[in-house]
Amino acid sequence: MSADLTKHAQDSHQGHSHGASRSGELSDVSDARLLWAVGLNQLLTVGQLIAGIFSGSAALLSDAAHNFNDANALLIAYVARRISRKDANERFTFGYRRAEMIGALINLTLLAIIGLYLVYEGISRLIEPKEIVGWLMAATAVLAIAIDVATAVLLWAMSKGSLNVRAAFIHNIVDALGSVAVLIGAGAVIWLHWLWVDPAITLGIAAYVLWQVFKMFPQATRVLMEGTPPELDLDKVVATIEEIDGVDNMHHLHVWELDEQHRALEAHIVLTEDADLGETKVLIKSVLVERFDIGHSTLEFEFQRCDELNHCHR
């Protein structure tokens, strides 16, 4: 076995702690932040809905619908996080980790629906413009920016290690950008009387929403479909394991993600005739943790047999 692999074997305990540090990254952040964010977004939704009706702004009404969806998305994220922490049992032997992926998929689906609705609303207002009360539109946009920024601050730390929370975080980033655009649009309505700016902003928000869905949806579905992590090179995994003394061959390899922080692997390992099963097994598992961040591995071992003519077979 190479010197590098030996070092990784000696550091096996550190490898396990590394995997644990990724999964524990979010546990230090209070779930109360999500509940605060839900409350803020519900209040903002009511305010934007009232202002949108009285001002005649399609952008405000669209943003109100988006914020209502944000509040629901954050609530889903909160529930999914709580479920994902439940311990494994006889019915769910891997635990409930993928609850967050299901939450992310629901959030992204709702984002897509909102995006398509905004496209419809923007095109309708371009075809048939309506009068807009610019000052009310502007005042509500300022309030929305303040609440969106506060929500984003609450979710920032949580969004780094969870696709589920990141999807909810993106909701609020979109809202903040949309509110800035609405404020600019209000200025155009007040001083230039450009009514077309309001539906144009709406279409811009819709394009951004749908682009974010396009980016994140494949990641959520890949995890649920037990796809191989995209950055993991399976050929490299095989080549690395086959460098270990006593390993002749690695085949029947499957790697998937339980969630964003936990990878799993199963494979068949063919050992040379003189290999020590216990020692080799420990070395393989250590390398999988250290080199590829795969903390859960199921290995089936076979021994290579050689006859008196030195012809070896399984």
CATH class name, domain 31-224: mainly alpha
pLDDT per residue as tens digits for the range 266-300? 999 999 888 889 999 999 999 999 999 998 899 99
- 155: CB partners within 8 A, 6+ apart: 33, 34, 37, 74, 165, 168, 169, 172
- b/e map 125-144, b = 16+ CB within 10 Å: bbeeeeebbbebbbbbbebb
Query: Would 3-15+229-313 and 31-224 be classified into the same CATH topology?
Result: no
More confident residue, 271 or 305: 271
Q: What is the pLDDT of residue 255?
A: 93
Tell me the CATH number for domain 3-15+229-313.
3.30.70.1350
Q: What is the pLDDT of residue 136?
A: 87
Checking if the pLDDT of 173 tops 70, the result is: yes
Mean pLDDT over residues 68-97, rounded? Answer: 75
Q: Is the pLDDT at 309 greater than 50, yes or no?
A: no
50-74 pLDDT, tens per residue?
Answer: 888 888 887 777 777 767 766 776 7
Considering only residues 260 and 56, tell me which one the structure prediction assigns the higher pLDDT: 56
Lowest mean pLDDT among 11-15, 97-101, 207-211, 275-279: 11-15
Query: Would you list the domain boundaries of the chain?
Result: 3-15+229-313, 31-224
Residue 95 has a pLDDT of 75
pLDDT of residue 226: 84
Grade residue 254 by pLDDT with cuts at 50, 70 and 90: very high
Q: How far is it, in rounded angstroms, from Cα 191 to Cα 195?
A: 11
The pTM score is 0.64
Q: What is the pLDDT of residue 19?
A: 39
270 vs 9, residue with greater confidence = 270
**Is-contact 312 273, C-beta < 8 A?**
yes
* Residue 310 confidence (pLDDT) above 60: no
Q: Distance between CA 91 and CA 202 in Å, rounded?
A: 46
- For 183-201, what is each residue's pLDDT tens digit? 888 898 889 888 888 888 8
Integer Cα distance of 252 and 241 in angstroms: 13
Give CA torsion, residues 278, 282, 288, 293, to 10 deg. Answer: 140
d(CA 126, CA 70): 26
